[in-house]
Structure 1
Amino acid sequence: MGAVVALSDLVDARQVWRGRAQPIPAGDQPTGLGALDAVLPTAGWPDASVSEILMPLDGVGELRLVLPTLARLTRGQRPVVVIAPPYVPSAMGWRQQGLRMGQVHFVRAPETDVLWAAEQCLRSGACSAVLLWPRRADDRALRRLQVAAADGQALGFVFRDRQHLGNSSPAPLRLELVARPVPAIWVRKCRGGNPPAQPVPFPATVH
């Protein structure tokens, strides 16, 4: 058996190449919540990627979290697609948040077709963002969505129950919304950096 040599000795002797991780460049997809952008490696949503938003139940502010981004995107050329939301969004409320509703398309789809529809929209290159609430989505399904988002240069927002937090996910960003004791956002995974040890406050309004 060969002699045991300390790795530090090999590094010092320049017998082992030591690489350096390249910093993740800031993107151009701010969340609209400055405190959240400040702790994310890309200073916002990862470009052309899927972001997974986990929550204890529907309606705890998950749409409020993404509306500033959607408002900005609807001022562009590519529409936003919302696939089979669990409740009917308020068009008037969305307009008040700055969304151009002519650039928002709602798609009705049975649960069995939600993932397929989202993948087609993400990959098409015609959409700026796609929102979906899949009830059942395994690691393979989420990976397909991530590849489709990269191909179509779109943002994907996948809203799921927090019971999936313990499952692995290929999504570059995973956020968990909590309502108690105070509304907050936990960054559970962020590609290119370590999640902060403390949650980000989630105010009643997002600017």
Structure 2
Amino acid sequence: MPGFTQANPRGWCWQDDAILPDEFAEALDALTTGTDTFRVNALYTQMYCDGQQPGLKKAQCIALMFSDFYDALVAEGLFSPCVWPTNNFVPVDCLCNFSCTDGYVACGRQCIDPTIEQCVSNFPQPKRRSLSTKCPRGYDKCALPTGGFDCVDVDNDLESCGGCPSYGDDEDSVNARGVDCSVLPGVASVACVKGECRVGSCLRKHRLVHNACLPV
């Protein structure tokens, strides 16, 4: 699945670690014509290329420049990675927009099957089956504090990631291991992927370190 990452504030966009073709062309044109653009300073670009090995073609220099730029952004943690749905989607752009496929519909940052799920406040929830005592395949049967049960996709549910939610001191809640990814400290974007909270980006004055947002 293609992965998009964006570097702010200029908005350079990489897909699968490669700069997008039209953005590569923008930098190459600035170098060739000596004309600045919103994102490219032609003089600085020429100075960079002059400092490389002799005989390097303009296109090769631009490719090297973006490679160095990418490595520097990764080292500084300045990328804004997208948090994508876990399945049935197609990425649209570097702004983290996506389209759901195969009859699935968007619900927050997930694509859901409307035949078995409903979207409640941008969170997928299973459709209740009043006459059934079983959950659909892929869902866990989790006790509700008011009695009865709910069907939870613990592999992808943002608020019950990895297990059933905990509601109190009862035995079922004590044994529950679900994590509410939406309340993790310092997190700007997060998804539940295969039962684990995957942090995509952090709030300002926080830095992403080993899947956690730490104050800086």
Q: Indicate the TM-score class for this superposition, using the shorter chain for normalisation.
A: under 0.3
Larger radius of gyration: 2
TM-score by length of 2: 0.24
More strand by share: 2
- Higher relative CO (CA 8 A, sep ≥ 6), structure 1 or 2? 1
